[in-house]
Amino acid sequence: MEPGEVPEGQQLAGGSQWFQWYHVEEGDTLSDIAEWWFGNPSERWWRRIWLANRRTIGEDPDRIRPSQWLKLPYRGFSYHVERGDTLSQLAEWVYGNANRWRQIHDANPWIQDPDHIERSWWIWIP
């Protein structure tokens, strides 16, 4: 199992099967939270947290605020598509490789055209 993963069908209190809640404290950064949660502070890992909370944090991942509640994803996460998003950009942010866009597409087989995702859709990022 990778850091942050829980066995299938299990969950921690205060979350769900795909995330655990985290209360932001003064001085927290997404990198610090990613190191604590995933054991790795690199961009690939803190971007998972940012993407899972983009509607809460906004477009600037450096602008988390004390008292915010963030969802820390275990494996994959539900993502709200924003204007300008593409599967390849999401794959670059999450996996560090834009060519892995097909992994996201395969998890969302209802998307008819992988070159066209629409703002306001909810998709699963594995």
Whether residues 59 and 99 fall in one domain: no
**CB of 77 within 8 A of CB of 48?**
yes
Number of domains in the chain: 2
Q: What is the pLDDT of residue 1?
A: 37
Whether residues 59 and 106 fall in one domain: no
Whether residues 65 and 104 fall in one domain: no
The percent of residues in the chain predicted with pLDDT above 70, rounded, is 87
Whether residues 50 and 19 fall in one domain: yes
CA 31 to chain centre: 13
Distances (CA, A) of 42 to 35, 49, 123: 8, 11, 24
Confidence (pTM): 0.75
* Averaged pLDDT, 24-37: 96
Whether residues 33 and 58 fall in one domain: yes
Q: Which domain holds residue 101?
A: 81-126
